[in-house]
Amino acid sequence: MSHGPHLIAYADRLGGDLRGLRALLDGPLAGAFDGVHLLPFFTPFDGTDAGFDPDDHTAVDPRLGGWDGVRALADDRAVMADVIVNHVSARSAAFLDVRERGDASPSAPMFLTLSSIFPDGATEEDLARIYRPRPGLPFTAMRLGGRQRLVWTTFTPDQVDLDLRDPTAWDYVTSVIDHLVDAGVTLLRLDAVGYVGKVAGTSCFMTPQAFDVMRRISDHAHARGAQVLVEVHGHHTEQIAVAAQVDLVYDFALPPLVLHALTAGDLAPLAHWYDIRPRNAVTVLDTHDGIGIIDVGPGGAGEPGILEPAQIDTLVETIHRNSGGGSRLATGAAASNLDLYQVNCTFYDALARDDDRYALARLIQLFMPGIPQVYYVGLLAGTNDLDLLGETGVGRDVNRHRYTDAEIADELRRPVVRDVLAAVRLRREHPAFAGSPSWEFDGTTARSLWRCGEEEAALDLDVRDASYRVGVREADGSWRVVLTARG
């Protein structure tokens, strides 16, 4: 599998549909990306959770194209797609049948209610122990076959949790995987998989049963020729534990650590993380979700985080200040559909639209070991879309802009975007990146060197003033500078 850069994008928000996204990848973005994480394109792609609540997870929304459009994308690049493991839409045919017929429906065992996990009832202590990504309890009162029930809904009332102990639910998940692999998808992102192993008397998050599900899915994916990326936000030790058991895991600690380094002039936490981080990582600075904070914070039992609580508080307030208050409007109780552990903001705004600091952040990501993924808004150094936030009231929409073709053309002409694209192409094309890296940290400065045989590429940086220089070794042994801060 190539370890070159991947793009993360919604087809409808960058290119308009599958054909348009492919035209961008083959046109102005040619030579930049070895793969694309195609964010939910199922039917419908524009539900209440931006495609993560599809009515039919095995069908491509016809407004975007069809399975042939996915196959066309996969012809000459790796394609990653989401397997929404924890839940299905409350509008799905299976759950609508349960609403109508209750326990008489053959689909009833697929779905979790309170009694599925607590058959003898739950105590206050039981309910308080359940780990929650959002406020309130993870249940929604619904009538199933004329009977009032508490249905398990970890995220929203429109997303009903699956019981993967049930063979029908398991067959559903494997059928989703089979549809994706048959269309050429070779990388499967397991969305919210940490919540699938619900067990009475536990937090119902990252339990041994959740790890069992990850292994079962991985076994099925490997048999079909695909690999698995696990999406879990949590204490950094949980990422390390997950990484030991799966193909790939996100480096979700990297974004807040890079922001801390560039706003506080402090590389020490990033240096510590570099020493202990998993190497089978997918690196990101931004995604379709917010900037994770829990990933560098203390554990639930008080285990120390990579950043101290005071450093995290300062970082969050700095993001709010740098974004002119836009992130504050989109985060926490100010916005619906919120995640308690994330700050909603574009990475460019989080760095106060400072071109050199932003380009340096991307260079740090690209010089880290792992597979770098660049979110489409981040690729274009996008700013917070406060109009879309005002339209939907969904905090994460502040970083989910819908680009027109004209906007894309304009953004690609900006110097900071040209620098980011040049850095992405360097990571993909230069032979040094087929080797291995080293990092040396010294105060506010650092040096990263990638070497493969005689080929070398180096990044020298200083977070104090966001100065940097990228060089490559020529055949005669001299160094050629290919990127520097604009100043």
Output the pLDDT for position 336.
Answer: 40
For helices 18-26 and 67-74, give the axis angle rounded to 10 degrees.
Answer: 10
User: How many structural domains compose the chain?
Assistant: 3
- Kindly state whether residue 199 falls inside one of the protein's structural domains: yes
- Catalytic, 61? Answer no
Q: Is 339 labelled as part of a ligand binding site?
A: yes
Q: What is the pLDDT of residues 257-282, one digit of tens each?
A: 999 999 999 999 999 999 999 999 99
Question: For the domain that residue 106 is a member of, what is the CATH number?
Answer: 3.90.400.10
| 340 and 480 housed in the same domain | no
Identify the residue with better confidence: 173 or 2. 173
Residue 46, annotated ligand binder?
Answer: no
Same domain? For 41 and 101 the reply is: no
Q: What is the mean pLDDT of the chain?
A: 95
- 191 carries a ligand binding annotation: yes
Per-residue model confidence as pLDDT tens digits over 161-191 = 999 999 999 999 999 999 999 999 999 999 9
Would 1 be classed as within a structural domain? Answer: no
Any domain includes 260: yes
Residue 244 sits in a domain whose CATH number is: 3.20.20.80
Q: Is residue 200 part of a domain?
A: yes
Choosing from 55, 61, 163, 231, which is the catalytic residue?
231
462 in a known ligand binding site: no
Q: Is pLDDT of 290 > 90? A: yes
Residue 245 and residue 306 in one domain:
yes
- Residue 151 covered by a domain: yes
Q: How far apart are CA 460 and CA 456, in angstroms?
A: 13
Residue 477 and residue 328 in one domain: no
Structure tokens at 350: 């989080």
* Domain C-terminal end among 412, 433, 454: 433
The answer on 445 and 429 residing in a single domain is: no
Residues 260 and 209 in one domain: yes
Q: Is the pLDDT of residue 51 over 50?
A: yes
Same domain, 323 and 441: no
Q: Is 190 annotated as a binding residue?
A: yes
pLDDT over threshold 70, residue 33: yes
366 marked ligand binding residue: no
Integer-rounded Cα radius of gyration of the chain: 22
Q: Give the C-alpha separation, 242 to 280, whole Å.
A: 10
Residue 344 pLDDT exceeds 60 = yes
In the predicted structure, residue 439 carries a pLDDT above the cut 60: yes
Q: For 77-132, give the DSSP string.
A: SEEEEEEE-SEEETTSHHHHHHHHHGGGSTTGGGB-BHHHH-TT---HHHHHHS--
Instruction: Say yes or no: 402 and 480 in one domain.
Output: no
Instruction: In whole angstroms, give the CA distance from residue 289 to residue 377.
Output: 12
| Residues 353, 268 share a domain | yes
Tell me which DSSP letter residue 432 carries: G
Residue 440, pLDDT above cutoff 80: yes
Alpha-carbon span 194 to 207, nearest angstrom: 8
Q: What is the pLDDT of residue 305?
A: 95
Q: Give the pLDDT score at 48.
A: 84
- The rounded distance, in Å, linking the Cα atoms of 129 and 153 is 16
Question: Is position 19 annotated in a ligand binding site?
Answer: no
Looking at residue 294, its amino acid is I
Query: Which of residues 108, 143, 160 is at a domain's end?
Result: 160
| Cα torsion 176, 181, 183, 189: sign | positive
What's the predicted TM-score (pTM) here?
0.95
Percent of the chain with pLDDT over 90: 91
Q: Let me know whether 236 and 342 are in one domain.
A: yes
Whether 226 contacts 182, CB under 8 Å = no
Q: Residue 309 falls within a domain, yes or no? A: yes
296: left (phi over 0), alpha (psi -120 to 50) or beta: alpha
Flag whether 308 is marked binding.
Answer: no
Output phi, psi for 117, to 5 deg. -105, -30
Same domain, 138 and 205: no
Pick the last residue of a domain from 131, 160, 189.
160
Q: By residue range, what is the domain housing residue 207?
A: 6-85+167-433
Q: Is 288 annotated as a binding residue?
A: yes
61, 191, 286, 462: the active-site residue: 191
Q: Do residues 222 and 302 share a domain? A: yes
The verdict on whether 55 is a catalytic residue reads: no
87 is in an annotated binding site: yes
